[in-house]
Amino acid sequence: MTVKVRFAPSPTGKLHVGNIRTALVNWLFAKGQDGIFVLRIDDTDLERSTKENEDGIRKDLSWLGLDWDETFKQSDKFDRYTAAAEQLKASGHLYPCYETAEELERRKKIALSRGQPPVYNRAALELTDEQRKALEAEGRRPHWRFKLSGGRAEWIDLVRGQQSIDTSSVSDPVLIREDGSFLYTMPSVVDDIDAKITHVIRGEDHVTNSGAQIEIFLALGGKPPEMAHMPLLIGADGQGLSKRLGSLSAEELRNSGFEPIAILSLLAKLGTSDPVEARDSLQQLAMEFSFSKMGRAPARFDENELNGLNAHVVHAMGFATVQPRLAKLAYGDKATPEFWDAIRKNLVTVPDAALWLAVVYGGGLTGPELSDEDKAFIGEAAKLFPAGEVTLDTWKTWSEAVKAKTGRKGKQLFQPLRRVLTDQEHGPEMDRMLMLIGAEKARDRLIQAAP
């Protein structure tokens, strides 16, 4: 049996970290066993779905390297859903209801006030043909509910183990709205049947849906696929999905300079028994993936951890790889392999290189505010600055001469020099920086700081 999975985002917004994780886990699970990864666009909600979001999702997945083998949109399949709905009506699984939203809300409140579960009471099943006609004559349009069996829907979840949903404890789900539009529940099942999906992998917020969907699979003559419901992502503070994390999009991560493999490494390992470490490729992550490693506790997404992984990935990048990206930053066309080697360990993201490009290749710096004492010190240092070209030894010989002359050492000695030459408190090793900055610029900066 070939494994076939689907990632089914709704194009009602951008791809955010939670979606990326779902897409990734589907991809890893499938590709780890030569399976097929399907991208399904869940755009039955025509009002809230946009082409722009759909294009964005495709662009983001491609950027991440989560390529799909097949793709389709639900909006192309309305005829198929209508046929499935007719089938369910004919078999008595789908029944028309006429309650308004207000009526349902009122009933819910009454049930709750009586300490009863707010489950739909199936009053519509009692309607006679005449009553239905009368309601329709009033101008009411039906919405359609799926009649759950009232028994237990059971499956062995690849993450959660044995699952059992008491379908008498949930309302019969509405599959078709009053205006004839389909909610997500049935089209998803129809598509999973048609596409021969073997495994449905999604967030645990869908567990209750799965109870109803298993019954819809059976009612349509399909075989329910295997299921895996992953614990949700929460913020590093353990406080549930923060607004920031909930909306942290792939686009934002890309624009902030995060590397796909850093994001993927983190999301593949979060909430699993594997250590969170950067990997080289999706293939490697796929080889290491197993649902048996996934825990049931919510997975904590820590942006600091992402920074750490990203830095690790950037530090290992060769100049040839990074050059085209540096070239997009100011002065980036001037960058040399020596420059990249000197600065890379100081970066979290590639765009962080902008700072060092400006320091090395840019013109005048703003220059730090110096105390009078430091100004005098820099004045001495300027006088001792050697003539001619700067080499890798210049920093050492020069700073030793400055030390001997001024009696300063350690931080007192190095810090003002670094600040004047680079405008920064910290940074790459100064011997390399001085060489990159060059004699002329270094002299100018010293003189400017202590005229």
Which residues would be at the binding site for ligand GLU (CB under 6 A)? 8-10, 42, 184, 188, 202, 206
* CB 66, min distance to ligand GLU, A: 15
CB 198 within 8 A of CB 36: no
Rounded CA-CA distance 428/392 in Å is 13
Return the residue nearest ligand GLU (CB atom).
Answer: 42
Main-chain phi, psi angles of 37, to 5 degrees:
-110, 120
Q: Which residues pair with 163 in a beta bridge?
A: 155
* CB 10, min distance to ligand GLU, A: 4
Nearer Cβ to ligand GLU, position 10 or 394? 10
* CB 9, min distance to ligand GLU, A: 5
CB 230 within 8 A of CB 201: yes
Give the burial string for 374-411 (b: 16+ CB within 10 Å, else e). Answer: beebbeebbebbeeeebeeebbeebbebbbeeeebeee
* CB 58, min distance to ligand GLU, A: 15
Cα separation values, 329 from 254, 257, 322, 335, 363, Å? 15, 12, 11, 10, 15
* CB 366, min distance to ligand GLU, A: 48
272: which 2 tokens?
């699993």
Nearer Cβ to ligand GLU, position 228 or 264? 228
- CA-wise closest residue to 427 among 329, 369, 358, 334: 358
Nearer Cβ to ligand GLU, position 20 or 413? 20
Mention every residue, 6+ apart, whose C-beta is less than 8 A from residue 218.
224
* CB 302, min distance to ligand GLU, A: 24
Nearer Cβ to ligand GLU, position 145 or 202? 202
* CB 201, min distance to ligand GLU, A: 8
Nearer Cβ to ligand GLU, position 206 or 403? 206
Nearer Cβ to ligand GLU, position 213 or 422? 213
283: which 2 tokens?
């293939």
Per residue, the 3-state secondary structure of 290-302, as one string, reads: CHHHECCCCEEEC
Rounded CA-CA distance 34/28 in Å is 10
- CA-wise closest residue to 431 among 397, 387, 385: 397
Nearer Cβ to ligand GLU, position 42 or 99? 42
* CB 198, min distance to ligand GLU, A: 14
Nearer Cβ to ligand GLU, position 225 or 416? 225
